[in-house]
Amino acid sequence: MDLVAEAAAVRERAYAPYSGFKVGAAIRAEGGRIHLGVNVENAAYPEGTCAEAGAIAAMIAAGDSRIAEIAVIADAPRPVPPCGGCRQKLAEFAGPEVRVTLATTRGARLETTVGALLPGAFLAADMER
């Protein structure tokens, strides 16, 4: 199952009445199940939710806890990376080697990893004493 296609399909359901910038995300969990998310805007802008965060929440709600792969798609001139907060969220549930496919609705793709998106991520192990 193509994660970019899954992200593209769910992107259509994003709630973006203010910016018009719809984003879709698809996560393949380690067990193989796919979890989807979209951005959800709010009139009080800081209260919106990113597509990546929505997909992570769906994954956790379904009982999975580790990301094996993720795809994110938006209608933009270049493949758009996750925001800083979502990069940290991805690092919580995925190792640095986990593949991230960033795509545009026009067919451009960029392959990267969680580690490349967030080098030096703050991890649970950093809190060990």
Please tell me the predicted confidence (pLDDT) of residue 79: 98
Active-site amino acid positions = 52
In this predicted model, what pLDDT tens digit does every residue of 14-49 receive, in sequence order?
Answer: 999 999 999 999 999 999 999 999 999 999 988 999
In which residue ranges of the chain is pLDDT below 70?
none
- Among the CATH numbers 1.10.3720.10, 3.20.20.70, 3.40.140.10, 3.40.50.720, which is that of 3-127? 3.40.140.10
**pTM of the complete model:** 0.95
Flag whether 76 is marked binding: no
Flag whether 45 is marked binding: yes
Flag whether 124 is marked binding: no
Please tell me the predicted confidence (pLDDT) of residue 14: 98
Please tell me the predicted confidence (pLDDT) of residue 118: 96
Please tell me the predicted confidence (pLDDT) of residue 117: 98
Q: Where are the alpha helices (DSSP H) in 3-128?
A: 3-11, 51-61, 84-93, 114-117
Domain ranges in the chain are 3-127
Question: Contact, 125 vs 117, CB < 8 A?
Answer: no
Please tell me the predicted confidence (pLDDT) of residue 45: 86
